[in-house]
Structure 1
Amino acid sequence: MTVTQQRRGRKIMMTPGELDDFLTTQRTCRVATISADGAPHVSTLWFAWDGRSMWLYSVVRSKRWTDLRRDPRVAIVVDTGEEYDELRGAELSGTVEFVGEIPRIGELRAELDVPEMLFARKNFHLEEMPHDGRHAWLRLTPEKVVSWDFRKLAGQ
């Protein structure tokens, strides 16, 4: 994964390994899309991280899906922490790709084997991905990543 070199906040940015660990263990992200009228739209989703791409399993009859079909540019934030010195997160941005059948009904698709296993284990504690015929896959291989870990300020 390519991590954008941050101009500001270098002291608190995550290393590639820290970022990978963070994205692998977190469940929830906020997805920002652009509505037809140009206004931003933000929604929450579970995701899977495969070490290179973020995989989103989205309802295909959602505003988010409609927005991304029209304009696939997206910004996604994953963050955690309550107190200032606990805040950690990352913003990933780029263009999503639609992967697999729409909606997903479980056709064999080798490129979905890993994200479906990761997603099912992390979010459902299952070994196989359940398919409901309402969701489909989006993949973001980020073009830009900005991260922060305010816990790193404690040593200064």
Structure 2
Amino acid sequence: MFTVYNIILYLHIFSVILVIGPIFILFPLLNKLKYQVENQESELELIRFVLRLSEYAGRVLIIMGILLIWLGGWKWLESWIVMAVLLLICAIIFMERIFSPAIRKIESEEEESRIILINKLKQYVIYYISILLIAMWFMIQKPVLW
């Protein structure tokens, strides 16, 4: 039997999939951009779409997480909640400060510096995925740190 809590939990899990999953498509897209100077608009638009999808799914993730904490009777100062929230805030800041400016620079740069920017963007994607996976570990394992 589905309860409100279970429905919110499934929405929360589905939003995690939408936040992390599509980010992995950025690797082949960035590889393609590295060697494609002309007609790169469709790849850049797809990258923007993936980042926007991840951003909006992240909002659903946070809202559903808040509801799960409230309905589940968890305390806001539990160590795993505090750490997951801090990491998600880092991920949001990282996404806003790093990805959009990097994509704008890729559009405007000549080929040599564009390749360097694309390689940096790949590193940023790895950092972003790492932050999200660590936050997910805290939510799943619920370690008691204090």
Instruction: Provide TM-score, normalisation by structure 1.
Output: 0.21
Q: Which is strand-richer, 1 or 2?
A: 1
Q: Which is helix-richer, 1 or 2?
A: 2
The higher radius of gyration belongs to 2
Instruction: Provide TM-score, normalisation by structure 2.
Output: 0.22
